[in-house]
Amino acid sequence: MKQSLYIAFEGIEGSGKSTHVRFTEEFLKAKGVSFITTFEPGATPLGKRLREMILQENMDPFTELLLYIADRKEHIKEIVKPAINKGMWVISDRCFLSTLAYQGYGRGLNIKLIEKLNEIATEGIVPNLIILLDLDVESALKRCKPTDRIERESLEFHKKVRKGYLEEAQKRKNVIIINSSLPKEEVKKKIIEILSNLTDQY
């Protein structure tokens, strides 16, 4: 059976994740790879309702953490695991690393606790590769119009989130950081290079 790969795109708001997920879809389609594209939060029916609550209602940071974790549990169980079991590639817009960056570094919640909750929610199913699109917060925020309460958070909050991503990336072997302040086509080229190496082994 063909080997499945789980790849997640990560980064702050305006880092270009959605654009590069779309390019990745086009590339994999052309290569004939069997894959699904998904995202967190909100990819399952229950997750969709959780997403609306998280992004629209004011709540305690710990409640927010638990709702992201609940969404992840459903996402892994209902979407990621079944696709992996069928030998498909999974391309996800966000994964567990978002919770460490946003709720851990952004909100200041306990990192060890988040790691434990992530472990429970993911059942140990974590991306083989995380592509972290990194750029400075000021430029990133200029690229997107805030539509929800997390996007409307302060510059300071988003700076803490970026710092979190970079620190957590250093701790892991499976995170590749790509400078997303480069022109879109150059970022795309770098990502396609990485994907080409992976599809050649496929």
Site for ligand TMP in 37-56 (CB under 6 A): 40-41
Q: Which stretch binds ligand TMP (CB under 6 A): 93-101, 131-139, 167-175, 187-195?
A: 93-101
72 and 122 Cβ atoms separated by less than 8 Å: yes
**Total residues in contact with ligand TMP, by rule CB under 6 A:** 12
- Give the DSSP H or E segment for 67: helix 61-75
Instruction: Report which residue's Cβ sits closest to ligand TMP.
Output: 102
Phi (first) and psi of residue 38, to 5 degrees: -145, -175
- Whole-number minimum distance, CB 41 to ligand TMP, in Å? 5
Q: Which stretch binds ligand TMP (CB under 6 A): 22-30, 98-106, 131-139, 185-193?
A: 98-106
- Whole-number minimum distance, CB 167 to ligand TMP, in Å? 16
Nearer Cβ to ligand TMP (39/89): 39
Per-residue mark of binding to ligand TMP, 21-40 (x: CB under 6 A):
-------------------x
Q: In 3D, which of 113, 76, 112 has the Cα closest to residue 95?
A: 76
Per-residue mark of binding to ligand TMP, 147-176 (x: CB under 6 A):
---xx-------------------------
Per-residue mark of binding to ligand TMP, 100-119 (x: CB under 6 A):
--xx----------------
- Give the DSSP H or E segment for 179: strand 175-179
Q: Does position 98 bind ligand TMP by CB under 6 A? A: yes
Q: Does position 122 bind ligand TMP by CB under 6 A? A: no
Q: In 3D, which of 71, 68, 89 has the Cα closest to residue 80?
A: 89
Q: Give CA separation, 87 vs 1, 37, 51, 192, in Å.
A: 7, 14, 28, 21
Which residues 6+ apart lie within 8 Å of 167 measured at CB? 105
User: Torsion-angle region of residue 124: left (phi > 0), alpha (psi -120 to 50) or beta?
Assistant: left
Q: Which stretch binds ligand TMP (CB under 6 A): 92-100, 125-133, 178-186, 190-198?
A: 92-100
Which tokens hold the place of 139? 């430029």
7 and 129 Cβ atoms separated by less than 8 Å: yes
Q: Which residues bind ligand TMP (CB under 6 A)?
A: 13, 40-41, 68, 93-94, 98-99, 102-103, 150-151
